[in-house]
Amino acid sequence: MFDVNKIREDFPILKRKINGHDLVYLDNAATSQKPKAVIEAVADFYENHNANVHRGVHTLSEEATQMYEEARVRVAKFINARLPSEIIFVRNSTEALNLIVWSRGKAHLKKGDEILLSEMEHHSNLVPWQLLAKEVGAVLKFISFDENGELEISNLKSQFSNRTKVVSVVHVSNSLGTINPIKEMTKLAHEVGAIVVVDAAQSVPHMKVDVQSLGCDFLAFSGHKMLGPMGIGVLYGRQELLEVMPPFLSGGDMIRSVTINDATWNEVPYKFEAGTPNVAGAVGLSAAIGYLANLGMDNVRQHEIKLTDYALKKLSVIPGLKVLGPLDAQKRGGVIAFTLKGTHPHDLASVLDGEGIAVRSGHHCTMPVHLRLGIPASTRASFYIYNTKEEVDKLVDGLEKAKRLLTK
């Protein structure tokens, strides 16, 4: 059973008062809150098992290594990777995407090759490709989105050619909320020999993601958006591709042998995990995955669909409020960005904070989306497993108050 009130009891921070009001946390697309199970798992590691991994035969080191590698196995199972070695621990989605750009991309792309992105990409899946394209002379191409915030896929096939080498696209937009057709895009990309990179920062925490079913070559996500600690993220990559990629960072643990003039590399995944890793972060991420798996990702998704549908209906009756992206909750994640006529998003967020309601305001690291829509910024409410319809009602009341205060 998916019992929201019972779930809320697992999150200590939800007991906080903000400006005299119960905390209403609606900034989950930026980072999620952490249940006691995750907090306790990280504390237990530091209190009882703290040591460096892969480098010692003493008991603590062996325990830490086992916990770290068990976390890798759990992540692999969660997204249905074929092998634990296809899971590389990084700091966050941004580092995972940069690893692909500067390892695989730089080694394989040349002048005239095409990189196909969408117009709704997070800066983390745009700026690195911009830099690489300028360095090697590759060409950036973009799939546009329509007035509903959905990718224009009617002529998608025409975007691909024998020059298309990389397709890198967001699974769920963090500003429009749109769920993109990754399987269809992957099929078209593979037909022309291109690799597919998926930014899954907003999908893995919220719905069942199966990398084998998607067929993608690489996939990136962050632990802190899925109940885990900050500073731990994941890059999934197909084993055969990782094997031939050069290291991204170099130093300790990523080597097999070193002489004064040369070095050879460790096996995958350790080739890409230079230096001391965030072992406590991996342990915390493992605990977070255990928590989500116990709830069931299908249940997580259904809860968010119901909550998002309720929020869309409640917001639709506020005069002057415009939602960005699809208006069908089935077509979007639990992210609703909007504008309110006569108010600036930052002022709006400030008034809501006064009511104890945490939302995000700005361009959400998707400036091209906002430029395309002709707006400088938006306000974003984003939901997760512990949010309720009552909190949506508080958001609506807060918006009505802000409208009275901020508009003439």
Sequence letter at residue 354: G
Matching residue, tokens 């360095």: 135
Angle (nearest 5°) at CA 354 between 351 and 360:
60
Q: Among 14, 73, 358, 365, which one carries the catalytic annotation?
A: 365
DSSP 106: H
345-362 as b/e: b if 16+ CB within 10 A: beebbebbbbbbbbbbbb
Report how far residue 125's alpha carbon sits from residue 4's, in angstroms, rounded to the nearest whole number. Answer: 33
> In the chain, what are the helix, strand and coil shares in percent, each to the nearest 5?
45, 20, 40
Instruction: Please state at what angle helix 389-406 crosses helix 297-315, rounded to 10 degrees.
Output: 30
- The answer to whether the Cα torsion of 347, 348, 352, 357 is positive or negative is negative
Closest listed residue to residue 86, CA positions, set 311, 301, 236: 236
Going by their DSSP bridges, the two strands 233-237 and 255-258 should be labelled as unpaired
Residue 10 has what DSSP assignment? T
In contact, 86 and 237? CB cutoff 8 Å: yes
3-state secondary structure string across 48-78: HHCCCCCCCCCHHHHHHHHHHHHHHHHHHHH
In eight-state DSSP terms, residue 24 is: E
216 is an active site residue: no
Give CA–CA dist 379/248, Å, rounded.
Answer: 36
Going by C-alpha positions, the residue among 126, 65, 69, 97 that lies closest to residue 237 is 97
Contact, 190 vs 168, CB < 8 A? no
E strands, 269-408, in order:
321-323, 335-340, 357-358, 360-362, 378-382
Residue 36 is classified by DSSP as H
- DSSP character for 151? B
Report the C-alpha gap between 70 and 90 in whole angstroms. Answer: 16
The Cα 84–Cα 101 span in angstroms is 22
Q: Looking at the annotation, which residues are catalytic?
A: 365
